[in-house]
Chains A and B, each alone.
Chain A
Amino acid sequence: MIPAIVVFLYLATVLYIGIFAFRHARGKEEAEDYFLASRSLGPFVFLFSLFGTNMTAFAILGSSGHAFNNGIVTFGLMASSSGLVIPLTIFLVGTRVWALGKKYGFMTPVQMFRDRWECTHIGTVIFVVQAVLLVPYIIIGIMGGGTTLNAISGGFVPFWFGGAIVALVVMSYVFFGGMRGTAWVNTFQTVLFLCFGAIALAVIGIGMGGFRSAAQALQAAPATSWLLTRERISPYYFFSYTFIPLSAIAFPHILIFCLTARKMAQFKKTVIFYPICILAIWLPCVFLGVMANRVTEIPQIREKQEARRVLATQGRTMDPEHRDELRDKSAGDDVIMLLLQQYAPLWLAGLLGAGIMAAVMASDSQILALSTMFTEDVFAFYGGKRRFGEAVQVQTGRLFIVLITLFAYIVALQAPETIFELAIQYAFSGYAALSPLLIAALFWKGSTKWGALAVTVWTASTVIAVAVLQATVPAPAPGPPTVLWVPGGVEILTRTPGGTAVYGFMPVVPMVIGSTLLMIVVSMLTQKPATSTLAKYFGGRKP
């Protein structure tokens, strides 16, 4: 019960920060203040809130769970590649979008696309695809909150109540504090979960009697030594993962955050320290996830290992439902919480639980981003702001926040979590496939609105195609994949235990390449925007 009380205190603190931000902005019913904190964030808040916005529950719970079942490969797949690609895209794209936002008053990516490519309804199509890909995050955030509170309180707080509390707290500080409240809360949360990794590593390390013997035992046993290598992962698959972080800058909540910096110099620290922040959070979590395989005194961890063993040895002869059941049993998303319950004193487990909650509650920025997009790209664009004024626009944004949170909560209670976990997988690939939109808008004079439409339609179609394929063809057991399409003896399309592969690569690779080619080919065949528009974006530069 003590850990649950600490977590509730944490939630109260977060709520207070949001309301404090509201007081700070009292009297300003301006859209730019509510949705972008008047473009006034300083370097410290900008770095930590931008980083925190991009770190979801997966950073702590998912990373250790993935490492528990897949070994050290998790860090190279998801962390170190992000540490290179994300700051690079912030450096190249984020700074340019910030400058354009300052010069022309853009508050959303779609506003910029509409102006850059002289389009109206194509912008609305981009808005719809972006919004649909963003909603699963909000739902999974509420589900994660309910599950975590339930686990931390030892089952005392039921899932529905935990989810409701998390939804209410997030909704309240986003509702009152807008971007300022969200940024301050994110900063507080990021500091908390940056501390989490180091403290958890120390506490669990002491509890396990040091990592040296555990690591050497894992290395010595043939059943576990592969966890310290990447021998079970194809280099093609590993390479494919470097395309996924392209999604970060295409996420509307990240791009909108780039508009909040007071000065462009604020990007400098963010770009430099981003890889270090990723290292500080992911390395301990991945390491602990791997080491959990040596813990024998926690029965739940032994059950997971047994499920994994049965799946690997007998999975081929089982029916798909039984395989899925075993996959769920072997999932390691709660290993870090199990380790903390075993080794940390109660009060510390509570503090660390608050750190986990901080990561789980990252859906705040997505809620605010959706609200900003709706009010700017739909309400204001189709005449709402002109007719009703800016104060009504802000109130509409607030109403939208309540409605979207309520919708997400209701769906979270009804639907199984795995559906949305899958949807998030598709969303990463989808947003990565949308990234050529930004590159083309900012760096290529020759790009056109029809090229942008082709990219958007391609992205939506491929995301749906992958989703349908994975829903109709059951995942095989660990081992060789199910081959689906072999033209001329070449294995083009396969269903793997973890998803789909196209010529051995993850779908994100052909999706991004297809988007890029479509942007180039369609733009070359269609009419360019007016010279005056191009001059706004490129000055006297040649195409």
Chain B
Amino acid sequence: MKKLLLVLAVVVLYVLHQDVWFWRSSRLVFGFIPIGLFYQGCFSVAAALLMWLLVTYAWPSHLEQEVEETDTREERRA
């Protein structure tokens, strides 16, 4: 369930990149940042947050374990 939600979050963020709703707007945020640029900047922050979620809840720790086991076996053999 957790992984499914994370996959869904990735898909949603990918779709949100295509922000057609601000396509033709030249509105300025804080008086100087174009809204389209501001949105895409916020999108980058959201991408970092999503990466944090992935690293926290879907980290492939089994790969680390496999490598450690291999290292231990080789050390014993040596």
CB within 8 Å of B: which residues of A?
72-73, 75-76, 79-81, 83-84, 87-88, 91, 95-96, 98-99, 102-103, 210-212, 214-216, 219, 225-226, 228-231, 235, 238-239, 242, 263-265, 268, 271-276, 278-279, 283, 286-287, 290
Contact = CB atoms under 8 A, between A and B. Distances in A.
Contacts of B70: 102-103
A239 B23 CA distance: 13
Given A229-B25, A273-B48, A274-B51, A75 B18 contact: no
B45 A275 contact: yes
A242 B17 contact: yes
B77 to A, nearest CB: 14
B56 to A, nearest CB: 9
12 contacts: A84-B50, A99-B64, A102-B67, A211-B32, A212-B31, A219-B26, A229-B34, A231-B24, A264-B60, A271-B54, A275-B45, A276-B44
B21 to A, nearest CB: 11
A272 B55 CA distance: 8
A275 B67 contact: no
A165 B70 CA distance: 45
Given A215-B33, A230-B36, A279-B41, A235 B48 contact: no
Interface residues of B, number: 39
A34 to B, nearest CB: 22
Nearest to A274: B51
Contacts of A102: 67, 70-71
Given A103-B70, A242-B14, A72 B63 contact: no
Contacts of A274: 48, 51
B28 A215 contact: yes
A238 B63 CA distance: 36
A271 B70 CA distance: 25
Contacts of B8: none
A81 B18 CA distance: 10
Contacts of B51: 87-88, 91, 271-272, 274-275
A96 B25 CA distance: 42
Contact of B44 (A219, A268, A279): A279
B54 A91 contact: yes
Contacts of A99: 60, 63-64, 66-67
Given A81-B17, A272-B52, A279 B36 contact: no
Given A72-B36, A88-B10, A276-B48, A80 B43 contact: yes
A80 B44 contact: yes
A264 B64 contact: yes
A216 B44 contact: no
A76 B17 contact: yes
A276 B49 CA distance: 10
B26 A76 contact: no
A235 B20 CA distance: 8
Contacts of B40: 72, 75-76, 79-80
Contact of A231 (B23, B48, B50, B59): B23
Nearest to A213: B32
A235 B70 CA distance: 49
A87 B46 CA distance: 13
B72 to A, nearest CB: 12
B32 to A, nearest CB: 4
Contact of B55 (A225, A231, A271, A279): A271
A224 to B, nearest CB: 10
Nearest to A67: B37
A463 to B, nearest CB: 26
B16 to A, nearest CB: 10
Given A238-B18, A264-B67, 7 more contacts: A83-B47, A88-B54, A103-B66, A212-B32, A215-B28, A215-B34, A290-B34
Contacts of B71: 102
A173 B33 CA distance: 41
A229 B34 CA distance: 8
Given A268-B55, A275-B48, A84 B67 contact: no
Contact of A228 (B19, B26, B43, B54): B26
Given A84-B14, A91-B51, A276 B45 contact: yes
Contacts of A79: 40, 44
B59 to A, nearest CB: 7
- By Cβ-Cβ distance, the 5 closest A-B pairs, closest first, are A228-B34, A99-B63, A228-B26, A275-B47, A279-B44
Contact of B63 (A80, A230, A264, A268): A264
Nearest to B34: A228
A283 B18 contact: no
B78 to A, nearest CB: 15
Contacts of B50: 84
A498 B59 CA distance: 40
A95 B36 contact: no
A216 B34 CA distance: 10
B66 A229 contact: no
A197 B35 CA distance: 20
B17 A84 contact: yes
Contacts of B13: 84
Contact of A95 (B19, B28, B63): B63
Given A102-B70, A231-B24, A287 B37 contact: yes
Nearest to A81: B17
A75 B43 CA distance: 11
Which of B28, B48, B54 lies at the interface centre, i.e. has the most chain A CB atoms within 10 A of its CB?
B48
A57 B51 CA distance: 26
Contact of B41 (A91, A215, A239, A283): A283
A435 to B, nearest CB: 16
Contacts of B63: 95-96, 98-99, 264
